[in-house]
Structure 1
């Protein structure tokens, strides 16, 4: 079960003392840096003795080993452990530990002293296995010796007459010494001739080097003469192109400013047009309010007296008729005043708006005039810069090939060429 601790526990009676062992197996969950979720990273085991946790398994096993040996405990508690799980060496050691070891080792060591020295502490079984392996290897190697010996005998040369060979070697060495001496005399004579010739060659080479240096110096002067003309021409072309590029950049900048100013001016004109339309609408609304006001102000009170009761049909008293007429007149006059007051208030709001629009129209017209003036100035500047660009482009650049040909036609260059 995930996130649950699984454990096994045993209670023992050790020499009359109650001891409890417990081993717990649990999962490890960790939250990596930068993450908000826990992640499973593995398992761990915890060990406790009598409810007190022990840090490591080694410490846990050490405590148990003080009570009883692990192998002895297994043999005492598992009847099949000795016969099935312990190898023959372990069983032999266990039986010897029970019955004792009374073998006379001194006599055995004296009898097999040579063998023991050869074994050098190695177990007998390993020693026997090693000897068997060496024996098989030596036997295989021995089988290959016969054919090898026969092959070597077949390749051996016949016996030589070493005295005759020594005499022949001496004769050949004498002849060779004479030939070497003759060749050495020829070499000495050739060395003398070479030394004399080398002196002449050195003087010739020195004169040649001087002439070659002078030729190289003149060629460098020729190259420098052309390079100076070409460098000046390149500088002129570069200055011309830079001037054209600067003028073009200025023209583009002015054109962008013209477009921006035109956009602003058009926006101002739209604002002005909207203000004028709104003022016209306000004038029309004020005229309508004025007409309503005059009409409402001139409206007369109209009322027809009710002389009989609507419920019973009996004639009404004169006082009741007069009171009804007075109440009707007051209601009419109150309603008329409310309508007139609202018309006056609405008209005042419209007049205030009209006044504000008048100021905005004046300000906007001034701004449009300034923008139109700025546009005229910018268009004049753009025209002047465009003419400057055209004039600069009309001036031809210096052709480098032509300039190089002109440099070669100069008197200084011809003089150096002749030299």
Structure 2
């Protein structure tokens, strides 16, 4: 069920320089004539502002106040009111834009402090939220602008939004339908692997660029490797290897000669004689040291033993001294305790029994009978004597214990004294023995002589020195020979290294050839992959071409005059998405005259109105350019430039008015 909004009247007061004007449309098609700057476009601005707070160019911050000499006139209310038929019911909308003047405290004059906007629905003051909700319930802003201006779709929408709108109207075509329509695309689903086509295009485009870079670099790398290959055309590898073998044999022979020289028989014989002499020297020294040093060793061992025994005895003496000192301190403490006990015993023993003979009854206060008093005294005396005896016995018991402990300590001290005297004599004896042993050691050590004083030992040393000098002379002669041989070995090794270096160049050549083969194989693989990617890109482009052809056919079938170009072929053969409106092959953006632009815009509005199910008044600016407007179901307000009309003039088609009513 379609909605239809028709304009009955549009009244402007102080709006963009129009002091007051009423467009009496009566629901029919209207033509508004006027010279330039008489306010034709202002009518469209007022119409859009009334609904959406913007002008016809979709600007929100436009100036709607009246100007004089370039300055705003203050104190005016700027008002637009529209009377409409909405699905057969009359609707009134009004907005009033006013200046706000306030007086500050203490000031006699009011100051400008901003603007206010008042809203009215069917003459009833309303809040902005209510007003906006009503307008939104009629139609959304973006849809309304598409349906009320022939130029909005092509001039103000981005091409992406135009394309999106067309797809919403006509419906997209599924990938399956596109693939089914072109057998060449059968392999595409397998290639995409559930990825979106655009994502896959990005992946393979990136890989394609990477492969191109690699393909450009590989010849350079091959050239670098080739420049590094040594020229071995005049070199025989087998001959070089035979020469290395010969040089190694010569080096080994010379090394054997050096070993023979260093291990010569003359030196070997003299070294054996030296070993025999060293054995004889050890025997002489052992015999020389045997007697005196054994006695010294035995004396030192005896002294060490006696010192250990003396230390044990001295430790026992120290322990006895410590024990006696501890006993003496305890005896002193016991004597003090016994003295205190004696004083306490005499104090208790001297205590005398006392008794209060004047006894009275605690209840009535009368004196007790004599026999009761006497009995009480006897009982108290008996209790006193028992307690006194108990205390004295306790003191006696403690005194006996202390005395027994003292006697035990004195007895222990007597034993310690005897042990101390016995150990003292033993310590003295040990000290005397130790002194005698140390004297003997000093005497024995003074008798020991140096082995170098032994004539036999000195004679053997001279024989050893003579042999060592002979070895040194032989070695000096051998070293000269060895040096000459070593110089020859170094020359042979340098020659061998040089030949081995030449042999190593054959490995360099082999490695270089292997690297070139590897790079060439990599180049072939990349070329094959590049060809495969190119085929995938071709299929992707074919898919887009097929889909666009189907889309264009589907979309263009919905329009009578307008046609749409949805893709553009690039220089490299690829496709890029666009959305260009054309009429009879002429692009809207270049070459199309105003009359065609207006009629194409009306054709688009007709289709959009049918799609959205809403018909609204269409404001056609520069309508004088069109000889005949195409048919449309919507109400039209044609804005015609007329030089002779210095004030706006309105013509309403009587037939249109009758139909509207």
Q: Please report the TM-score for the alignment, with normalisation by the length of structure 2.
A: 0.26
Relative contact order (alpha carbons < 8 A, sep ≥ 6): 1 or 2 greater?
A: 2
Q: Would you tell me which structure has more strand in proportion to its own residues? A: 2
Q: Please report the TM-score for the alignment, with normalisation by the length of structure 1.
A: 0.41
Q: Would you tell me which structure has more helix in proportion to its own residues? A: 1
